[in-house]
Copies of this chain bind each other. A is one copy, B any other.
Amino acid sequence: MLNLIIADASLETIPIDLYKHHSFKKIRHSGKKPDDILLDRSFHHFAMVATNLDNRHKRGRPDILHIALINALATPLYQNNLIRVFIHTINDNVIFVGSTVRIPKSYLRFEGLMLNLLKNRKIISNEGQILLEMRDHTKFDYLLREIIKADIVVGLSTTGIYRKLELIATDLLEFSNPCMVVGGFPKGYFSDGVDSSFNKKYSISNVGLESQVVISRLIYEYEKNVLA
């Protein structure tokens, strides 16, 4: 079984300091609480800059996670239960993605689902199956060693050694529980806690590629080896 971690993803509600900023006045008056709104650079860029939000170049991009998940979960590999998907956020939250999840393509529905997850820590189907589960304060290393128990960890990064993706995908067949790590952030590099955990770090292109492109290609190459 292949494991995929979308790492350093940003998914959080409005930090309280940001909520106090004057650009949120209208929202405060509307009765919406910080927990009712995902941090989203499209809308909160000005406040993020004005309040000097820590690590802000990686934050406020739930749209990246949305599109990455849509791509990963629409693949035959996932639908045949041959890949497990995890999200690790820059705030050290881990989200476990169940094996039969359909992520809504509509962003507003996705936003509602994520707010529900952040509040209730679990999304359960009508049939009682856990679709999404969130666990706080889970370091990346703990996820790898104690939860996934990966026998190899391969990160994809522009700072890695160049290797053809089809070869990387074939290498994985030698392991029983390999884990691939793809960044879920807009630019910059993996955080130190993530980067230091890789057994191998590869670059698959001479240009930086967006998360959903890397995820789509990786799953496709791996799928060729394990699905007829």
By a beta-carbon cutoff of 8 Å, the part of chain A in contact with chain B is 40, 42, 61, 63-64, 67, 70-71, 74-76, 79, 104-109, 205, 207, 209-210, 212-213, 216-217, 220
Nearest Cβ distance between residue A227 and chain B, in whole angstroms?
A: 9
Nearest Cβ distance between residue A42 and chain B, in whole angstroms?
A: 4
Residues of B within 8 A of A42 (CB): 104, 106, 108-109
Roughly how many angstroms separate A64 CA and B70 CA in the complex, as a whole number? 11
Contact assessment for A70 and B106 in the assembled complex, using a CB-CB cutoff below 8 Å: no
A216 partner, pick from B64, B104, B205, B213, beta carbons under 8 A: B213
Contact assessment for B71 and A213 in the assembled complex, using a CB-CB cutoff below 8 Å: yes
- Given known A67-B67, A70-B67, A220-B220, contact A75–B108 (CB-CB < 8 A): no
Residues of B within 8 A of A76 (CB): 205, 207, 209
A107 partner, pick from B108, B216, B217, beta carbons under 8 A: B108
- Given known A107-B107, A216-B220, contact A207–B74 (CB-CB < 8 A): no
Nearest Cβ distance between residue A171 and chain B, in whole angstroms?
A: 18
Nearest Cβ distance between residue A113 and chain B, in whole angstroms?
A: 12
Roughly how many angstroms separate A42 CA and B74 CA in the complex, as a whole number? 19
- Given known A67-B67, A79-B207, A220-B217, contact A212–B74 (CB-CB < 8 A): yes
Roughly how many angstroms separate A61 CA and B216 CA in the complex, as a whole number? 22
